[in-house]
Amino acid sequence: MRKHGVDFADAATIFDDPLAVTVPDEGTEESRFVTIGSDAQARVLVVVYVWRDVRIRIISARRASRSEWRQYEG
């Protein structure tokens, strides 16, 4: 996530966003999910993650592209 300039702690805050949009990631055999949401710094991020038992394991996080931003704004 350093590559994208997004800290793990910041990425985790998008799960507190009531307007976040989550969809399954159909491109993998593993049950991954993609969430677009606003972090605590008001940046719109895209976070890819999996559920491991009762915890979320973040795979990647980055700033949203323009089209992803539009999806988030609905």
Selected residue with higher pLDDT from 4 and 71 = 71
Q: What whole-number distance in Å separates Cα of residue 10 and Cα of residue 25?
A: 21
Domain count, the chain: 1
pLDDT for 30: 79
Radius of gyration of the chain, Cα coordinates, nearest whole angstrom = 12
Question: Of the candidates 23, 65, 74, which has an alpha carbon nearest to the alpha carbon of residue 43?
Answer: 65
Task: Decide if pLDDT at 74 tops 60.
Answer: yes
Q: What whole-number distance in Å separates Cα of residue 53 and Cα of residue 36?
A: 22
Q: Tokens at residue 63, please? A: 């700033």
Query: What's the domain range around 28?
Result: 2-73
Selected residue with higher pLDDT from 58 and 5 = 58
* Angle 54-57-58 from CA coordinates, rounded to 5°: 145
pLDDT for 72: 94
Q: pLDDT tens, 19-55?
A: 999 999 987 777 999 999 999 999 999 999 999 999 9
